[in-house]
Amino acid sequence: MTLVQLTDGDWAAAVDMRGGGLHSLTWRDHIVERASLGDRPGAWDGRVLAPWPNRLASGRYEFDGASYSVPVNEPARDNALHGLVWALDWDVVDTSPSAVQLRVALDPSPGYPWRLDLAAHYSVGRDGLTVRFAATNRSDRTAPFGCGFHPYLRAPGGSLNDCQLSFRAHDQLDVTPERLLPRGTSTVGGGPFDFATSRLVGTTVLDTAFAALARDDTGRARLTLRGPDGSPEVTCWWDASFPWLQLYTPGSEPRARIAVEPMTCPADAFNSGVDLIRLAPGGTWSGSLGIATT
């Protein structure tokens, strides 16, 4: 079994050493839907997405004058999806009843010839779940880097259609319908994905990235999912290290979950350069996020 169990009061989490991800999170009831186990393509739920999140067109990119190619794992759209560490076995560095520190080394490969050390620290407590990520470039040259996180919130009350959703973003990423690759941005306000004021999800279908997110005085952006009367209110937050948010509503019925994915960059950033992190030799990127409820 690859799961590490964490508990503190009413909070409990299971962290998966395969992919360094969050398998489940509960506060009296399930808050985060149980994730897939194993390393089959498509088992990205709950996983850490690095050294790029989302899609990389045809698995090809150029960086500092050299061309690289990584395996395509979304063949129907000819994309490389969600990076290279989601299927790796992470090691436990330190653990306690309510916290665990995981680490994995991403070794150089022909398609990504840089060596990275990645760490993920999960903890539960009275403020819910807090996750801290870090990535250090152990190579002798600058590395392209991006990171994302892929949990699915369980709809409070059981039906996403009956939930109220709220988050504030100015921009949304417009994508090609066939391959879901970027083709520009447009304004969220007044459109079908404007949830600046909490409103019913209803039949809204989301597979959309958002940017220019509203933040509080601590630099955190927030999303809140509120169920019918008597159901808990779930809030996700992420710091300024994650300027993008991808939301995804699976198409299967009944709709009972939504993926809330903070990202450092949008799809195909290795090609577009949009918010791509240039991680210097010996340099470290870090970011934090969390999930709470009331």
pLDDT of residue 37 exceeding 80, the answer is: no
pLDDT at 250: 86
Neighbours of 19 (CB within 10 A): 32
Whether 79 contacts 8, CB under 8 Å: no
Structure tokens that stand for 52 in this block: 């790029």
CA distance 247 to 258: 7
pLDDT of residue 192 exceeding 60, the answer is: yes
- Nearest alpha-carbon partner for 172 in 201, 194, 141: 194
Q: Which residue has the higher pLDDT, 29 or 89?
A: 89
Q: Which residue has the higher pLDDT, 2 or 38?
A: 2
Q: What's the pLDDT tens digit per position in 125-142?
A: 999 999 999 999 999 999
Structurally, the chain folds into a number of domains equal to: 1
| 42: CB partners within 8 A, 6+ apart | 36
Q: What is the mean pLDDT of residues 56-83?
A: 97
Best mean pLDDT range from 31-45, 167-181, 239-253: 167-181
**CATH number of the domain encompassing residue 21:** 2.70.98.10
Q: Which domain holds residue 56?
A: 3-293
Q: What is the mean pLDDT of residues 159-174?
A: 96
- Nearest alpha-carbon partner for 54 in 192, 242, 290, 293: 242
pLDDT at 42: 61
Structure tokens that stand for 148 in this block: 């994302």
Q: What's the pLDDT tens digit per position in 227-243?
A: 987 778 999 999 999 99
